[in-house]
Chains A and B, each alone.
Chain A
Amino acid sequence: MKPFAYARASDRDGARAEAADNALYIAGGTNLLDLMKLEVMAPDKLVDINRLDLSELADTDDGGLRIGALVTNSDCAADQRIRRDYPLLSRAILAGASGQLRNKATTGGNLCQRTRCYYFYDTAMPCNKREPGSGCQALAGFNRIHAILGASEACIATYPGDMAVAMTALDARVEIENVDGAIRQIPIQDFHCLPGDNPERDNILENGDLITAVILPRPVEGKQIYRKVRDRASYAFALCSVAAVVQMDRETIAAAALAFGGLAHKPWRDETVEALLVGEKPSAQLFGRAADQLLAEAQGHGSNDFKIPLTRRVMISVLQEATEKGAAA
């Protein structure tokens, strides 16, 4: 690990004051310290934000829930309101990492989790994300875990997390305080970036920006499902995951929100797929057409070709479960 200065902030003003050009905030640190040990990341300074007052889960005025940025994954998944009203989010968090990691990982930090691309982790290899302009070794290399949607010639890395995929299907918003103390809210769909020509950028955060909360809208009726497919039964990243919130009106689909993990540089949501489902009666043909729509532009890169038919099957299976008669919420 390269040397760095350490500052412990006691409040938000203090944290922002400590945030300099190559400073990073540290909360749980489970991903950041891993990357610092490998010198994939080498900040000059860490600003410890664990003492900030951001650990509360609170009801919002419009019936939603505000999850403080420092609420741990464990506390979020176990919270009674999340379990009751947003079971998708509990399920997604519990599908990720291990008990030890969920005890440290925070809501804000988890959003900033970096890709698990093997070449990003290997400092002996070129990687446009780690070292802009050096090239992408994954394109023609081992790319089993890599993107099939929204990738670029510069980068085919995936966003690895589960929590944000569920939050995307739940229409969450990310609350961010900038270095001057101004607060803005971003729909979570707009938080992570596609790689394009600048894959070094994972998300829209600017220097000194501090995530303060994730805000969930009022819970909706309907069936919530999180389905994750991975190489082992526990403690592994998603090859493909589907977060679904589906509401039925008698025989027809009244509303559908679908978000996908493991497929792209960000949690993937395609509203044209949802539009195709709404107002229709569930059928194998309909779900097949929805999968065609989702995967129309999908591109494999060799060892991840399997993800295209895999995603199709997982999505259809989730839609069948979500729309079957007698489906409990």
Chain B
Amino acid sequence: MEITELSVNGKSHRLEADSRVTLLDALRNHLGLTGTKKGCDHGQCGACTVIVEGRRINSCLTLACMHDGDEITTIEGLGEPGNLSQLQSAFVAHDGFQCGYCTPGQICSATAMIEEAKAGWPSFVSDDLEGPDRLSDEEISERMSGNLCRCAAYPNIVNAIRQVAGEKS
């Protein structure tokens, strides 16, 4: 058993778990934070995306014991009913989902992605490597390609992200 201290959404947790427990399973099964979803469990779908030390990652492809002392933000830490984050509100306003299963991952991913773009990170579709002046729809699609939506709500997801990214830039 591995003992790991995790700070999740500002709250400290002491986790005692097998070394095989992924960060995703620790969040869902040990800490009861079921907002983070298990889709493919192989890093292909992005449903498990959380923000660790400010960076979006696939929580299914990392072990909980590798994150001793790390600050983790899940969908529950971004907002709550009555006090939604800008992106959560935008997903509601733009109907950025159908079944909603990928949505927590989409929102965690987009939250960190907007920060990456603000920091000037270029993407595969950026014309030059100086980073984009603004997030075009093509930029949003490329940067969000690690988050799949089986309902194919992509146009509305892009609309929601564009609204928030536009407000922030």
Contact = CB atoms under 8 A, between A and B. Distances in A.
State whether these chains interact.
yes
Interface of A: 1, 3-6, 8, 26, 28-30, 33-34, 37, 46, 48, 50, 74, 77-78, 83-84, 87, 90-91, 94-95, 97-101, 103-104, 233-235
A328 to B, nearest CB: 10
Interface stretch (B49-57, B80-88, B95-103): B49-57
B129 interface: yes
B144 to A, nearest CB: 8
B137 interface: no
A243 B161 CA distance: 33
A29 B20 contact: no
Given A99-B56, A100-B49, A77 B122 contact: yes
Given A34-B61, A99-B146, A4 B19 contact: yes
Interface string B128-159: 01100000000001111111000000000000
11 contacts: A8-B65, A33-B63, A50-B66, A74-B116, A74-B121, A87-B129, A94-B122, A94-B124, A95-B124, A100-B49, A104-B57
Given A99-B109, A103-B56, 16 more contacts: A5-B19, A29-B61, A34-B43, A34-B61, A48-B65, A48-B66, A77-B122, A78-B122, A91-B124, A91-B129, A94-B126, A99-B56, A100-B43, A100-B49, A101-B146, A103-B55
A39 to B, nearest CB: 12
Contact of B146 (A3, A5, A33, A235): A235
Given A6-B65, A98-B146, A103 B122 contact: no
Interface string B70-93: 000000000000000000000000
Nearest to B46: A100
Given A48-B66, A98-B46, A100-B49, A30 B143 contact: no
B113 A99 contact: yes
Nearest to B142: A234
A94 B142 CA distance: 10
B43 to A, nearest CB: 6
A90 B22 CA distance: 30
Given A87-B129, A99-B146, A37 B41 contact: yes
Contact of B120 (A28, A34, A78): A78
Interface residues of B, number: 40
A321 to B, nearest CB: 15
Contacts of A233: 142
Interface string B24-54: 0000000000000000011100100100000
A219 B73 CA distance: 39
Given A94-B123, A103-B57, A235 B145 contact: yes
A324 B152 CA distance: 41
A31 to B, nearest CB: 8
Given A77-B121, A77-B122, A100 B129 contact: no
A242 B27 CA distance: 41
Given A99-B109, A99-B113, A235-B146, A8 B141 contact: no
Nearest to A36: B20
A6 B121 contact: no
Given A34-B43, A235-B145, A100 B58 contact: yes
B12 to A, nearest CB: 19
Given A30-B58, A37-B41, A100-B56, A6 B63 contact: yes
Contacts of A91: 124, 129
A74 B55 contact: yes
Contacts of A101: 43, 58, 61, 146
A202 B5 CA distance: 36
A83 B58 contact: no
Contacts of B56: 99-100, 103
Contact of B109 (A26, A37, A78, A100): A100
A33 B22 contact: yes
Contacts of A77: 121-122
A225 to B, nearest CB: 13
Given A104-B61, A234-B124, A99 B42 contact: no
A104 B63 CA distance: 12
A38 to B, nearest CB: 8
B145 A6 contact: no
B61 A6 contact: no
B7 interface: no
